[in-house]
Amino acid sequence: MADITASMVKDLREKSGAGMMDCKKALSETSGDMDAAMDWLRTKGLAAAQKKSSRTAAEGLVGVAVSGTRGAAVEVNSETDFVAKNQQFQDFVREVTQIALATGDELEAIKAAAMPSGTSVADVLTNNIATIGENQSLRRARRLEVSQGAVVSYVHNQQSPGLGKIGVLVALESEAPEAALQDLGKQLAMHIAAAFPKALNEADLDEAEIERERAIATEKAADSGKPADIIAKMVEGGIAKYRKEHALVSQLFVMDGKTKISDVVAKAGKDAGHTIVLKDYVRFQLGEGIERETSDFAAEVAAASGVPQKPTDGDKPTA
């Protein structure tokens, strides 16, 4: 029997997309023949992940979990929203969220961690791709923690407890009573879900984005024909407004449209008798930033059936 090395298993796993133990077994069954091992995996339906891995996965679920002063959020993607209703997929997202809560938000560490079944997250994900029949990916994770206080979660468009389309975590550091922190946290989380802040503070905003906004504002102001010093003031005024509108603490609270978030937090602390510090937040929106493929479903069906599609009026040749 041929010696099966870790390198051989790694190569087959990368080639097939199958799990590590399945690759090891395939190589053992085929005396280390890579091509034969690939065929063995295909006959078992375990190499299906390879073909699916190139397909866009922009649906799925965001999961959130909280335990005391710690909270975690993860995003696991699939190709269609039908998978989000699949119990196997939901259980996977829920379990991965708990792993992130325990181990942190480094993706490779999460993938290497063991699921309750004892199998690694990466291998369970590969198996899910084969059994559910769609490409899936663990896209991102984030964990928040405070020394004292609370991390509060909120899920918008909830599909199942702790799972939905938008997941929010709010980290509040304080000696204030738990009830007061939970109430404030829920209000802030709902605001974050609706207002989509880009950073906690103005200083944390992406400077590259700020420069793009400055270039746009400069070009617009230049068309006004005003003197250069006036244009400069217009541009900086526009940038100041942009910073306030996109930094969480300076946004206007969506509940009343007039109170700054920093003032909402300060008032809650005063009412509770203890200073409350808004330490951080997480907002994961499903598929955010993923470029989705568009397709003509009718054309796909026609192509699959071999029946040519009738031209629309826009497709008809002109005389």
Q: Cβ neighbours of residue 150 under 8 Å, at least 6 residues apart? A: 69, 171, 172, 174, 178, 181, 182, 185
- Of 70-79, 110-119, 126-135, 262-271, least confident by mean pLDDT is 126-135
Q: What is the mean pLDDT of the chain?
A: 85
Element (H, E) at 124: helix 121-132
Q: What is the pLDDT of residue 297?
A: 44
- CA–CA separation, 309 and 49 (whole Å): 31
| Whether residue 99 has pLDDT greater than 90 | yes
Q: Given this model, what pLDDT does residue 124 score? A: 93
What pLDDT, on the 0 to 100 scale, is given for residue 36?
86
Q: What is the pLDDT of residue 18?
A: 74
Q: How far apart are CA 259 and CA 268, in angstroms?
A: 13
Instruction: Please give the Cα distance from 137 to 79 (Å, whole number).
Output: 10
Does residue 49 carry a pLDDT above 60? Answer: no
Q: Is the pLDDT of residue 133 over 90?
A: no
pLDDT confidence of 56, banded at 50, 70, 90? Answer: very low
Tell me what the mean pLDDT of segment 109-135 comes to: 90
Determine the distance from the C-alpha atom of residue 89 to the mean position of all C-alpha atoms in its chain, rounded to a whole number: 15
Instruction: Name residues whose C-beta falls within 8 Å of residue 298's C-beta, 6 or more positions apart in sequence.
Output: 309
The CA-atom distances, in angstroms, between 310 and each of 295, 304, 315 are 17, 15, 9
Whole-number pLDDT of residue 45: 63
**pTM assigned to the model:** 0.73
Token duo for residue 95: 């379990």
- pLDDT value at 54 more than 50: no
| Candidate from 8-12, 203-207, 267-271, 297-301 with smallest mean pLDDT | 297-301
